[in-house]
Structure 1
Amino acid sequence: MYIKNILISGFRSYREQAFEQELSPKNNVIVGKNGAGKSNFFAAIQFVLCEKFMNLSSVERKDLFHVGSGRPALPIFVEIIFDNSDGRLVIPGKSAVNEVRIRRTLGLKQDEFRVNDKRFTATDIRQLLESAGFSSTNPYYIVEQGQISSLANMSDEERFQLIKDVAGTRVYEVRRKESEKILEETEVQHEKIGESIAQLEERLEELRSESDELMSFQEIDKKRKCVQYCILNSDLNAAREELRRLDDERNSYMSRSGRDHYDIDEAKAIISEAESEIRNCDQRILRLEGELQDLDTKRGTLMREKEIVQLNCMSSLNTMKRTESVKTNVLKRVGELNKQIAETNAGLKKKLAIIQREQLTVDQKSEELSAIEGKLKALEARRARQLLFKNKQERDNWLAEESNRNRKTIENYKHELKFTCSEIQKVEKQIEDEETEQKNWEESLKKSDSVITELKSKYEETMAFRNSLSVKKGDLWREQSALVQTVRTLRENHNKARSQLEKVIRSDVRQGLQSLKEVLDELADPSLTNAVHGQLIELIGVSNGYETAVEVTAGNSLFNVVVDSFEVSAILLENMNSRKKPGRISFFPMDTCRGTVTRFGEGVECSSLADHIICDPKFAGIVAELFGNTAVVTSIADGENVSKKYACDAVTLDGDQVSRRGGITGGYIESRSLKLSAFKYEKVAAADFLRGDEALKKITQELDNVNQALTGVVTTLSSLKTEMSSITKSKDGSQVVEQHAQRKAALDRQKDKLYASKKQLEDMINTAQVNIATYQHEGKEAFKSAWSEGEQRELEALVKDVDDRRMELSKLQRRSAQLAAEVRALEDMRLNLNVQLTATKKFFHDSAQLSASNTAITNEKENLDDDISFNSQQANEVYRLLDETRKEKLRREEEVEKLRSGYLEALNSIQERRDFDGRTLMQQAHCIRRRDGAAEKIRQLGVIPKEAETYSGLSREKLIQTLKECNKAAEKYAHINRKAVDQYNTLMETKNGLVAQKEDLQNELKSIRDLMDHLDCKKDEAVERTYKQIQLHFEQVFKELVTTDDCYGKLQLIMSNTRKEAGEDPYVAVQIKVSFGLGAAVTDLKQLSGGQKSLVALALIFAIQRCDPAPFYLFDEIDAALDTEYRASVAKLLSKESGSCQFITATFKNEMLDVADHVLGVFFHNKISRIQAITVEEGNKLLKQAVVEERKRVREHVE
């Protein structure tokens, strides 16, 4: 066992502290500057473990609170986390745990300990630590600053007292003092008993003289008591007989009253049910009337739609008759137009072929002309430049500028050419699309008739399917409306049943059950949930007729929750309390409830109540625990007999109870207050409501499916209409085809223009490139200021060639223009013919569309006729249901009137029985007073003599006469002490008791003296044994620390010269004798140096620790006064001892760091201390800084 971690919050200089890395189970060394917080760290551990901080005043508490920036955070706490893998710390009530967390929380008014989040007292903590090896008599597992010095300067007597404390003699001394106190009290009590015996002897002598007269009086008093008993017994029997008679009469009336109450309850239930049916009828009537109103509204709408459709049908028929008369002439005109269009297309095709050939020739001639013109322009420009420039440099500069300008021009033209090409591609794509659309329209025109026929067939089938869905929707809608009303009624019944069940359950029990459910939901633990089986009332069934008996026997235990084990119930209660859940709850743990069923002999008219309860066999123990010792009887009298004979409880079927202790309870029990009935009614109502709700959800889902199907059908019909309309319109596709042709022709013309622009741009680019080449060539030639004859002849030849080519190109262009005019005329003619053809085809399209429209109107008229017929059928069905519901309501109202009349008669009968019951109760009360008075007087008579039987046959008058004679005879003994004999016997018993008590006290005195002698012996043995152990370990440790060959250290007990009294110690002091190997041995530690004193004190501490080992040790600067060599020895010893226990040591010296397994550095900043793990090198550096700062502080103080 060792300390793994320490959590500190708000303690002194520590605001928040925890170690990220666990402490070492071996040697942990803490280093830091002065004032950094090392001592506060040790104080935090003592705050949890030591009694030093147990009883704190308010001022002492405030000193522990952290004071930083702002107000201190309250409460503060320190938590120590132990590794308990060896099981040394045993927490009461829990199995072994590998980690134990002890936390102490302190506030201004709060001081509590917690072990693994369970609250403990300070005493519990002290006992827990002592059980783990933290001895209260050996506080040296924590060595604070200065404790080494005080131990070194301790006197021999104080040192002996220290050894006694380690030996645990305080316990012996406390026991001895307790024994001495008991001894004194026993001796005083012994003396008092002797005095009391002497006084009793004197009083006994006086009472013997009074006994003779008393014997004569007792004979007369005995006879008088016998006579009084006979008189009182006669009165008692008469009162009991009268009570029995009244009880029989009352039971007879009450049994009839119970039947009347049952009849009333049954009548109430029937009336309530009938009134509920009447309300249902009213709601059905309202619903049916609403349906009827909706149907009338729908019928009016349908009739108006039908009138509109009939008018449309008549108009359509008249239009079709007019169309048929002109249909033949239109067909003839269509044939002529088709022939003319075909001839025009053939001529247009020939002309277009000629134009293409002519255009190629024009383009070729134009390119040749452009090339010659460019060459001509270049020569002319060159001649002009020879006159313009004075030298070659000016010419070359101008040529360079022109070349650059032409290059820019080429770039611009190329951008325009790229744009023109993209536009050409777009136009060609549009032309392609137009051709495709035109072709598609031409093909669709051929298929439209067959598609329309197919769509019409599909439309008619879809309409038929829609009509069937409409019928089904109406049926489902009526069924849903009826179920909505039924479910509403079932919900009201369920709410009523649940309200009744809540009334019979106590509110705190109801809250407790709800809290249990919430806790199980929050924990979400399947194993814990499976261990909870539910309320007992949910797990049992009761035979018919036995519900009242079970109810009164179990009471609120019916709502106890059945769980697997007591541990499960404890876990649930702990979680409910920790979450502060409201309510009250009780459990039946199956592992502790193992009752048995009482069995009755043959011939007894009773049975065990447990035999009439049905449950799963695994719950039989709980049923036997609750009902197994209760018998079911037919009457209270039988219950009294069975209860006395079998020592069990009894209950009647009506709920009257007879307790085994003699109590009888009972009376009328209203059926509405029965928990079992309310629970059963709630379960049935919940099941009915669940079934009705499921049926309603099913019908609603079917209705939703039908509505969705109808929506889909309507969408399909709309789609079919749209498609037929679209196809009908497409039958006039010639116009659309012509439109596509016109758009294609326009696009062709646009394409020709774009190609011309492209050609022009390419020519301009070629011209600019030729110019650049000319300029480059000219720049390479020598500069000439005059024009040569050869150049002049070349220029003239080019001029003549250009004129000839221009004339030829002009002739070709005029011919192309004439052909283009002829093509445009043919295209205009074709366009005109197509327009005429479109107009004639539109006539046929309108005719076909009119026929389709007429068919659709006819179908719509037929559908409206079907809808009106179906609406009439629905209205007739609603009228029929409305009439039946009104008749049912009338019948129920008459039934309720009859039931209410019977209910009032039963109430009057019950009132009469109540009046009779009141009179009977008054008579019974009078008889009870008589009976109790007689019984009380008989009790006051005391023990009745046996002779009383001789007077039982006398009459009442004779008994009264005898009583008077006895009273007269007793008058002459009025002066005597009537209690003399009793007093004598009482005093003799008291005397005998005192004598026995005196003997017991003498034995106790002997035992106490023996115990005291035994304790003295044990104490001496403990001191001797502890001394020897410490002596042996002191010698060993001293040699390990000093390390010289001839060094030694001894402890010597010094005996007392005189031992005056028993119990005193034979020794009075312990002397230390040490030798460091140089000089003589020393017994007076004052002769040693400070370092040697500290070493001797440490040797004694380590010897005590070996004698009484602890799981870990805390040392605060124990090496402060040691010399360097001794510090190394102490460090080596700590390293050796850390193999079996944990050390946490604070130091300012490097020797401890060399053997450390884990180094911790303490830092202080902004009034806050913190501890963190560091390396050995960082620790040495920190110690050097601390030494430097300490020297600096000393110099400043000296200055």
Structure 2
Amino acid sequence: MFIKNIIISGFRSYREQSFPDGLSPKTNVIVGKNGSGKSNFFAAIQFVLNEKFVNLRAAERKELFHVGSGRPALSIFVEIVFDNADGRLVIPGRSEEPEVRIRRTVGLKQDEFRVNDRKFSATDVHQLLESAGFSSSNPYYVVEQGKIVSLVNMSEEERYQLIKDVAGTKVYEARRAESERILAETKGKQAQIIEAICGLEKRLKELEAETAELKRFHEMDREKKCIEYCIFNSELTMANEALLKLEEEWKKQAALFNESQDCDEASELKITQLSQKIADISTEIARLEVERAAVAKEMAALTSKQAVVELDATEAAGRFTRNNREREALLREDRELETTLLTVAADIEKKKALYRASEEAARKKAAEVDTQRKILERLQERRNRTKLFKSKAERDRWLSGEIKKNEDLIEKSQRELVSVAQEVKCVEEEASALSKQMSAPNLSTADVDQNLRDHELQIKAALGKRDQLNQQRRQLWQSVHEQESVVQRLAEASRGAKQQWERVVRQDVRQGLQSLSEVLDDLRNPALSAAVHGPLIDLIEVVEGYKTAVEITAGNTLFNVIVDSFDVSTTLLAEMNRRRKPGRVSFFPLDTCKGKAVDISTTPECSPLLSKVKYDKRFAAVVAEVFGRTAVVPSLEAATSMVSKLQCDVITVDGDQLGRRGGITGGFIDKRNMKLPLRECEKDLTANLLAARSKLDGLCQEVATVEQNITEVLNELEVLRNQNISTELEADVRLRESRLMEDRRSQLATLKSNLVATKKAVENSMAASVETVRELKRELSDEFRSAWTPEEERRLEHLTEEVAGARVASSELQADALQLATEVQLLEDTARHVERRKGVVADRIRELGWSKHAGSFADGEHSAVKAEVDLLSQRLQSIDRDLEQDSRERDRLQSQLHALASKRLSAARSLQERKDVADKTQMQRSLLMQRRDDALQKIRQLGVLPQGVTKCESASLGKLMYHLKAINDQLKGVSHVNRKALDQHAALQEAMKDLTLQQESLAKELDSIHELMEHLDAKKEEAIERTYKQVQYQFEEVFKQLVGIESCSAELQLVASAAPNKKEDPFTGARIRVSFGLGNPVSQLDQLSGGQKSLVALALIFAIQRCDPAPFYLFDEIDAALDAEYRTSVANMMARQSAECQFLVASFKTELLDVADKVLGIFFHNKMSRIQTISKEEGVRLLKQAALEDRKRTREGA
């Protein structure tokens, strides 16, 4: 146990103070300047814990108030928060509190203590602290400034008294004083008892004469009672006989009345049922009319849509017919074009074969001619050069130049060949890529048709799904309309039930329950709402047939609200009053309601009413409180016999009550205004209404889901149609691209053939140049001749003639090849034209094939709209049939209702007459029952009857009255008799006996008191001796620990009395002998220095604390006069002891800061003290600053 926090408000120099991070459970050192508020802090703690501030006068209270800037406070308080994890502080009623808060609040006219927000007296707080270890006999858990000095300056007698206080001798002395007081009182009581016994003996003699006169009076009184009993019994007999006759008459009237009432209730029930049926049928007719209007509107819209769709379908059919005719013509043309294309292709192959043969012959002939021509040209050039050049050197120069030109031409031809080869390679690559692209899987016409067919199937499926969803939506809307009608009918019935409930239940009760519900909604406290279970009427179920008995028994307690505890009810009432809510509400707190049921056995004629009520076991006590003391019987006769037998309240199933004290209530009960059936009806209607609304919400949700699905299907249809269009467009684009690629491939083939021809021409030219170079080089090596030989001339002429003839033959062959090439070209142009026309025809056929899908869409749409129109037409006819049938049924029910209303009106008059007779009979019955009860009451007042009562039973009423008058006259003569003489005589004898016993008991008490006083004296001496030994031992140990020298010693000696006796103490004082290790022991403390005196006093204080330990200690500047080495010893001792207790120490020295677990600095500013946690370094600086200021003030004062 330790102090966790201290909260100060308005106490002396502290305006507001607390410790957010708490105090340490070990050593807390408080530092601050002089006048900063350290002593006020310790005073605040003592303000709560000590008796220092007990019985404060108004002026003393005023001095405790904080005086500073701002508005003065009307009250101040100090609160100490204890950590009570060890359970040392035990609060009555709350044994396990982990935290205990003790607050003392003082105002100008107020001084109160609170422990954990419960009000305690100062004595209770003192006892609570004493039980936790704060002993009033050991005030040294708080050591204030100057207390050490006073301890040093104590005399030996005061020091001995201190040891006695620590030993608890005050308790023994207080008990001894109390024993002496009791001894004196006992002796006084003994004398009074002796005197009382003498007086009683005298009074007993006087009462013996009065007793004889009283016996005579009793004899006359017994005779009077006999006469009165006979008179009252006669009246009782006549009243019972009249009641029996009236009871039979009342039963007959009640049976007739009940029969009429049952008939009336049956008629009313039939009228209500008929009215409800008529209302239901009217609602159904209204719903059907609304639905018919909606269906007719939808029918008109669909009819318009059907006309549009039919036009679209007719147009699509005509377009389909035209497209079929055109497609058939195109198919015929396509077949013709295919035949033409095959014929042309065969001709092309034949012509190409002839062309290739002719071209080969022409090429060979041309090559032969070219060879001969080149030989001829070279020969002619050699001949011409023989004539052109005059010398070999001139010829060689010209030949070298020609060779150089031809070699340049060869290089150029080689470059041209490389370029042409590259172009051929590029053309081949492009052709290869184009072939790959054309050979890749492509969208064929069959694929397009398949995709379109797939889309058509998907569209048909989507259209079917759309039609199905439309039909489902239409059915759901019909269900929604029907459910709306049900909800409307239930809502009207619920409103009627609530209105009937409001008429039956008192307004203040209804307002109270409503206000309670509003308060719970406003508070929004789940725990508080869970603690409120609702009114009793909502928490019970009653067996059918017993609702009248249960309601009559419970009365207005049916509306009492069951809550968990009394605190919950007070909280709710306070909130209702604070909000000024109207109404009245009562509660059944479960923690205070301890009702128990009377033991009533169940028989065929009787059973406990509690057994007819079903309830939760949590509310058993409340239900037993209301119904547990009542039995239920079938009839009033059974109730009369059961009341006296069971000694409890009895009620019939019809609601007639018989109290166990004789009271009878009952009569006509209007069952239409019974609260339990009305409440059950309202709850059922509310539950049905909620279920119907929930079903309506579900249907609306289904409608929304179906409409969303319809939207999704329509979107899907739009997507499919768009996919059809995109498929057609994509097919057109790809087929167009395929044709373009075919054309490009043809172009590339032509380009390649041209490039190959160019390459051959360049190769031939280069070969010619090579041959020329070779001939020129050979000529260059030949000898120069100025003229040719005749033989060479002849050869040249012969070669000229051959070349001419070969040229003619070659020209003829080339003309034939050209003719064949022209024919092949014409045939290829014809084939290309036929292929292009065939492609156009195929595209048109494909377009016409795709267009038939659009026609199928229109047909499907037309079929769907027609089907919907047929369904709506059928629904419209069904609604018309239902309307006609419901109208006929409503007319028939209205006729029955009028007949029942007329019949019930006449029955109501008869019922009122019988009710008047029954009420009159009931009034007479009540008067007779009052007479019977009066007679019974008078008989009961007579008490126990005397034995001679049977002698007067045969006398007439007049004779009995005469005898009664005579007895009364005789009793007047003895009216002065002491009627209590016998009782007084017996009482005095009993008192004499009691006084004798008391006298003997007092004698024994005197002996016991003497023994107790002797025992207390012995215990006191034992306590002093035991405490002295403990203090002596601890004083020696503590002194050695503080001084720290092995040879030091300390002794506490008791000074014996000079002439002791049993009634006085054997000792008169306590002497201290100490040695600091040097010199002889010192018994006169004045011979020690100031620091040594303080050390001795501290050693004694620590010794006393060890003998009587407290949970924590408050030390205010205990180290002020100590030397530095002793301050360190004291600090170390406190550090060791802080493991078991808490220290709050104020100091101006730094040694205690070294062992502190928390350092608190006190600052004073604007007349206000403030404590906050600081570091040890800040504490040292604060102490140094305070020392400097003290020295400065000292110098200024000097």
Which segment is superposed worse, 187-196 or 1178-1187? Answer: 187-196
Cα separation, 2, equivalents of 1:110 and 1:739: 113
Q: CA RMSD in A?
A: 5.9
For the 8 Å contact 2:548–2:654, the answer to whether it is kept is: yes
The residue identity in structure 2 corresponding to 1:1024 is E
* CA drift at 1:878: 1.3
Cα separation, 1, equivalents of 2:317 and 2:942: 128
Structure 1 residue 522 corresponds to structure 2 residue 521 = no
Aligned residue in 1 for 2:397: none
Aligned residue in 1 for 2:805: none
Aligned residue in 2 for 1:1193: 1193
Structure 1 residue 172 corresponds to structure 2 residue 175 = yes
Cα separation, 2, equivalents of 1:168 and 1:978: 65
| Distance change (3 Å), C-alpha of 1:1195 and 1:491 | farther
Cα separation, 2, equivalents of 1:180 and 1:896: 99
- Deviation by residue 1:822-844 (Cα, 9 ceiling, x = unmatched): xxxxxxxxxx9999999999998
Cα separation, 2, equivalents of 1:702 and 1:445: 44
For the 8 Å contact 1:1052–1:1073, the answer to whether it is kept is: yes
| Distance change (3 Å), C-alpha of 1:908 and 1:160 | farther
Aligned residue in 2 for 1:289: 289
Cα separation, 1, equivalents of 2:562 and 2:681: 22
- Equivalenced residues, count: 1000
SS at match of 2:465: helix
SS at match of 1:1036: helix
Which segment is superposed worse, 612-621 or 1111-1120? Answer: 612-621
- Deviation by residue 1:1001-1059 (Cα, 9 ceiling, x = unmatched): 64575466557546644554454344324433443354346556565333447699999
SS at match of 1:300: helix
Aligned residue in 1 for 2:1029: 1032
| Distance change (3 Å), C-alpha of 1:174 and 1:261 | farther
* CA drift at 1:882: 1.7
Cα separation, 2, equivalents of 1:933 and 1:620: 39
- Deviation by residue 1:186-233 (Cα, 9 ceiling, x = unmatched): 57975985696488469658858xx67x88787667655544443343
Aligned residue in 2 for 1:1074: 1072
| Distance change (3 Å), C-alpha of 1:678 and 1:94 | farther
Aligned residue in 1 for 2:1183: 1183
* CA drift at 1:291: 1.8
Cα separation, 1, equivalents of 2:703 and 2:1143: 81
Cα separation, 1, equivalents of 2:54 and 2:219: 74
Cα separation, 2, equivalents of 1:736 and 1:57: 118
| Distance change (3 Å), C-alpha of 1:654 and 1:140 | farther
For the 8 Å contact 1:1072–1:1083, the answer to whether it is kept is: no
The residue identity in structure 1 corresponding to 2:1161 is V
The residue identity in structure 2 corresponding to 1:606 is C
| Distance change (3 Å), C-alpha of 1:1097 and 1:639 | farther
The residue identity in structure 2 corresponding to 1:471 is Q
Structure 1 residue 979 corresponds to structure 2 residue 981 = no
| Distance change (3 Å), C-alpha of 1:1003 and 1:10 | same
| Distance change (3 Å), C-alpha of 1:436 and 1:21 | farther
* CA drift at 1:875: 0.9
Cα separation, 1, equivalents of 2:1141 and 2:30: 17
1:831-850 equivalence runs, <5 A? none
For the 8 Å contact 1:7–1:18, the answer to whether it is kept is: yes
For the 8 Å contact 1:1041–1:1129, the answer to whether it is kept is: no
Aligned residue in 2 for 1:946: 947
For the 8 Å contact 2:306–2:865, the answer to whether it is kept is: yes
Aligned residue in 2 for 1:1160: 1159
Aligned residue in 1 for 2:101: 102
For the 8 Å contact 1:224–1:963, the answer to whether it is kept is: yes
For the 8 Å contact 1:598–1:628, the answer to whether it is kept is: no
Aligned residue in 2 for 1:710: 710
For the 8 Å contact 1:10–1:76, the answer to whether it is kept is: yes
* CA drift at 1:876: 0.5
Aligned residue in 2 for 1:767: none
SS at match of 2:1170: strand
* CA drift at 1:1148: 2.3
TM-score under structure 2 normalisation? 0.68
For the 8 Å contact 2:456–2:853, the answer to whether it is kept is: no
| Distance change (3 Å), C-alpha of 1:1137 and 1:725 | closer
Aligned residue in 1 for 2:487: 487
| Distance change (3 Å), C-alpha of 1:180 and 1:877 | farther
Structure 1 residue 867 corresponds to structure 2 residue 868 = yes
* CA drift at 1:482: 1.0
- Deviation by residue 1:437-487 (Cα, 9 ceiling, x = unmatched): 999999577865554455445434433333333223222221222122223
Aligned residue in 1 for 2:231: 231
Between structure 1 and structure 2, the one with the greater Rg is 2
1:111-190 equivalence runs, <5 A? 122-152=122-152, 166-169=168-171, 171-172=174-175, 175-176=178-179, 179=182, 186=189, 190=193
SS at match of 1:1032: helix
Aligned residue in 1 for 2:889: 888
* CA drift at 1:91: 3.5
For the 8 Å contact 2:4–2:23, the answer to whether it is kept is: yes
SS at match of 1:30: strand
The residue identity in structure 1 corresponding to 2:634 is T
Aligned residue in 1 for 2:363: none
| Distance change (3 Å), C-alpha of 1:576 and 1:16 | farther
* CA drift at 1:436: 14
| Distance change (3 Å), C-alpha of 1:911 and 1:1173 | farther
1:564-579 equivalence runs, <5 A? none
The residue identity in structure 2 corresponding to 1:1158 is D
* CA drift at 1:879: 0.9
Aligned residue in 2 for 1:358: none
Aligned residue in 1 for 2:909: 908
Cα separation, 1, equivalents of 2:437 and 2:294: 52
For the 8 Å contact 2:24–2:1157, the answer to whether it is kept is: yes
The residue identity in structure 2 corresponding to 1:1049 is L
For the 8 Å contact 2:28–2:1160, the answer to whether it is kept is: no
SS at match of 2:88: coil
The residue identity in structure 2 corresponding to 1:954 is A
Cα separation, 2, equivalents of 1:461 and 1:1047: 115
The residue identity in structure 2 corresponding to 1:952 is E
Cα separation, 2, equivalents of 1:520 and 1:988: 72
Cα separation, 2, equivalents of 1:671 and 1:514: 31
1:969-1008 equivalence runs, <5 A? 970=970, 976-982=973-979, 984-989=981-986, 991-992=988-989, 994-996=991-993, 998-999=995-996, 1002=999, 1006=1003
Cα separation, 1, equivalents of 2:614 and 2:920: 43
* CA drift at 1:51: 4.2
Aligned residue in 1 for 2:92: 92
The residue identity in structure 2 corresponding to 1:1075 is R
Cα separation, 2, equivalents of 1:448 and 1:318: 24
* CA drift at 1:3: 3.5
* CA drift at 1:953: 0.9
Unaligned runs of 5+ residues in structure 2 are 346-432, 579-584, 745-832, 1041-1046
For the 8 Å contact 1:1049–1:1073, the answer to whether it is kept is: yes
The residue identity in structure 2 corresponding to 1:238 is M
SS at match of 2:979: helix
The residue identity in structure 2 corresponding to 1:876 is Q
Which segment is superposed worse, 235-244 or 985-994? Answer: 985-994
* CA drift at 1:1186: 2.9
For the 8 Å contact 1:3–1:83, the answer to whether it is kept is: yes
| Distance change (3 Å), C-alpha of 1:624 and 1:853 | closer
The residue identity in structure 2 corresponding to 1:980 is V
| Distance change (3 Å), C-alpha of 1:849 and 1:58 | farther
For the 8 Å contact 2:593–2:622, the answer to whether it is kept is: no
Cα separation, 2, equivalents of 1:1057 and 1:590: 64
| Distance change (3 Å), C-alpha of 1:501 and 1:23 | farther
* CA drift at 1:625: 8.6
State the identity %.
36
For the 8 Å contact 1:1040–1:1129, the answer to whether it is kept is: no
Cα separation, 2, equivalents of 1:438 and 1:578: 94
1:745-784 equivalence runs, <5 A? none
